Chains A and B, each alone.
Chain A
Amino acid sequence: MQTFPKHGVSRRDLLGSAGLLALSGALVGCGVARSGFTGQPPAANVLTYWNLLGGGDGVRMKEMEAVYQKANPDVDLEAVTLTWGNPYYTKLSLATLGAQPPDVAISHLTRVSTLATAGLLQPFPPEALARHGMTPDKFVERAIQGGTIDGQIYAIPLDTHPFVMFYNTDICEKAGLLDSDGNLKDVDDPEAFIDAMAAAKGITKAWGGAMSTIADPATDWRCFFTLYSQLGGTLLTGSAPEQIVETDKAVEVLKYMRRLTVEEKVMPTDIDYGGAVALFANGRAAFYFEGEWEVSTFLTAKMPFSMQRYPLLFGEEYAVQADSHTFVLPGQAEIPDDRLDRTLGFIRSMLDQGLTWGGGGHIPTWLPVQESAEYKAIKPQSNYADVAESAVYDPPAWYSGSGSNFENIAGAVIGEVLTGRSQPEAAVTRMQIGISKLARTPSPL
């Protein structure tokens, strides 16, 4: 205590603080401050909309929001993009529990059942949907059914977004991988696929393909689940470790994935999401594997590329991991009709802009758009529209869904295999034990 300064706050200090105060006060209106103190929403005409769409998706969503805003000048659309994955759903849950949810939010279809069972969502009343022309028959059945729980519709699907393959047309041509039409030759075979990437590696002098392997469990899970489903593997048939994933099939898939990075070295072992995008964008990798949404990034980069469904490497029947972005109504209390109508008007506007959204790679689930000639004319984005039929979704469970604990645990060990730090057998065991523990925990819902 002895070393306190002799005198207190000086005039200079006070002036400084006063300056700061005046500056901040002048910069910002006081409407927000009032709601900060009273908890009241800032204004009645504000429509809040939360999403987790970054990257190219974010750019397109912004465009669509602008179109809506222009057509509805009396509504003040307040759209917020939040960090993807668990942080997003945690924040959505907390806001809803704190009675301050957004009017409408994006949720992955695989997350809807958890949110709805937890009592955090309001269902869409069928008559209100009909009022806005959004009857269930106008959606891809698989997607609208996925959001229907006990006969009540909790989610309006915007798209189906499968895991796909991008390829650099220049490099592939030089490597002799294109047919006479300029499309990629058939790589639907484990060895042919590796050969193609090896050939491309000869041209790039760096890598054949790229997929993010570190700090990105979701991507690793998408790739694994695609191949595992092609093998006909099942998930979560019970809560015992061997019922989480089928050991033999999972090991087979992981062995193959490990070959790509560690043994054949056609893909890098240690690369994060941004790094993988960059490798493909600047031509140091000829193939890139991710959800189709990254198409916007490569269109912006004005690079020579095309895309198609992820190859069928195992088994006979095509399968691919996918999920859907859906609109949900967060809230624990019934929504007043006028608010609901405004929100539904917004959702309808987003659905009607399915061409913009589809341009970002997503397969529209709103049939008026999906079946339109305009959508079919968007290339290469509509190349893989038919895989929506073969889409496999994450299994339902309170700890499952896009970016969930399930994906984090499974994806993390898959990533360890891809980086060469873990052996396939050990990884499968860890995956089984880790998820089995969650499966045995009584559901908190």
Chain B
Amino acid sequence: MTRQRLFNGVCIGALIAFALLWIMPFAWAIDTSLKPEAETTIVPVTWGIENLTFDAYTKVLGAGNILQWYFNSFVISTLIAVFSVVFCSMAGYALSRIRFRGSTFVFWFILAGIMIPGQALIVPLFREFAAVNLIDTYWAVILPQIAAPVAVFVFKQFFDGVPRELEEAARVDGASRLRIYARIFLPLSRPAISAVAIFTFVWSWNNFLWPLLVLTSTPLVTLPVGLATVSSAYGIQYAQIMASAVLGALPLLVVFLLFQRRIVEGIAGTGLKY
């Protein structure tokens, strides 16, 4: 028993050490962002802040477009999440419950899409959007990200587990497919909806390469693209850079804190990876 306890003690010690390591970059970013600019480049490095200041934050918030970028990211990610949930759950419902001619073909056709890496499509996709004049609009970011085959299969799997009796009873009453989908399946599939919604939201919020290519005017870019491409034009100012990093980290950290359990359960349940 003591051996067991000793072992547990060592484990917890190791875990705490790792946790400290993992917190360190965050802590250092916050520490730097609260220093006056001149104190950030002092060698040797010190953790203490002699003159605590929010200068860097006021400068970043005042000078840049960061609030605008929050807004863009929010609009884009929300719309992607909403559309994904609606379209993918409809498709998942059809694949799960409607046997029609060609349904097997459609099943495999969509399944094949899971293997298409979006990043390999940037060139043809860009030409497509340029041809229809949608470059530099939210749509150019939103539309390609809605069609996520993975989400379809998350819904399909979930619907597969819904007892047939529920549906049969409704059909006896003469309910249409749309009604059954909207009144029975959707309300039952809240866990799947929240998993897909949260994941799509987080994923599209963090997406970088595609928005970098198609959002070209600064007021329209998403937060990650803005942080990465628009330089402050004030040289290398570490406190300001870290302040913008902290501000950039905040929204999703809040989302994560709010939905922690659901995100974790979503991963465990679906293996969704973005």
Do A and B come from the same complex? yes
Interface residue tally for chain B (C-beta within 8 Å) = 56
Q: How far is the CB of A297 from chain B (nearest CB, A)?
A: 6
Q: Is A59 an interface residue (CB 8 A)?
A: yes
User: Complex: how many Å from CA A274 to CA B68?
Assistant: 29
Q: Are A98 and B135 neighbours in the complex by a CB distance under 8 Å?
A: yes
Q: Are B75 and A36 neighbours in the complex by a CB distance under 8 Å?
A: yes
Q: Is A82 an interface residue (CB 8 A)?
A: yes
Binding-face segment, B112-120, B144-152, B231-239: B231-239
Given contact pairs A33-B75, A98-B216, A99-B133, A56 touches B235 in the complex (Cβ within 8 A):
yes
Residues of A within 8 A of B133 (CB): 39, 98-99
Partner of B216, one of A21, A53, A94: A94
Q: Is B261 an interface residue (CB 8 A)?
A: yes
Q: How far is the CB of B139 from chain A (nearest CB, A)?
A: 7
Residues of B within 8 A of A134 (CB): none
Q: Are A4 and B192 neighbours in the complex by a CB distance under 8 Å?
A: yes
User: Complex: how many Å from CA A6 to CA B261?
Assistant: 12
Q: Is A66 an interface residue (CB 8 A)?
A: no
Q: Is A239 an interface residue (CB 8 A)?
A: no
Binding-face segment, B26-34, B173-181, B262-270: B262-270
Q: How far is the CB of A318 from chain B (nearest CB, A)?
A: 31
Residue-by-residue, is B115-145 near A (CB-CB < 8 Å gives 1, otherwise 0)? 0000000000010011001111111000000
Q: Are A8 and B194 neighbours in the complex by a CB distance under 8 Å?
A: yes
User: Complex: how many Å from CA A62 to CA B63?
Assistant: 11
Q: Are B219 and A39 neighbours in the complex by a CB distance under 8 Å?
A: no
Partner of B158, one of A4, A48, A80: A4
Interface residues of A in 5-29 (CB under 8 A from B): 5-9, 12-13, 16-17, 20-21, 24-25, 27-28
Q: Are B138 and A37 neighbours in the complex by a CB distance under 8 Å?
A: yes
Q: Is A368 an interface residue (CB 8 A)?
A: no
Q: How far is the CB of B123 from chain A (nearest CB, A)?
A: 12
User: Complex: how many Å from CA A4 to CA B136?
Assistant: 38
Q: Are A98 and B230 neighbours in the complex by a CB distance under 8 Å?
A: no
Complex: chain B residue closest to A102, CB-CB: B217
Given contact pairs A36-B75, A39-B136, A4 touches B191 in the complex (Cβ within 8 A):
yes
Interface residues of B in 216-274 (CB under 8 A from A): 216-220, 228-236, 251, 254-255, 258-259, 261-262, 265-266, 268-270
Residue-by-residue, is A51-73 near B (CB-CB < 8 Å gives 1, otherwise 0)? 00111101101100000000000
Hey, which bits of chain A sit against chain B, CB under 8 A?
1-9, 12-13, 16-17, 20-21, 24-25, 27-28, 32-33, 35-39, 42, 48, 53-56, 58-59, 61-62, 78, 80-84, 87, 91, 94-95, 97-100, 102, 274, 277-278, 297
A sample of 11 inter-chain contacts (CB < 8 A) reads: A1-B158, A3-B269, A4-B195, A25-B71, A27-B71, A36-B220, A39-B133, A54-B235, A78-B219, A83-B228, A95-B217
Q: Which 3 A-B pairs have the closest CB atoms?
A: A8-B190, A98-B135, A58-B233
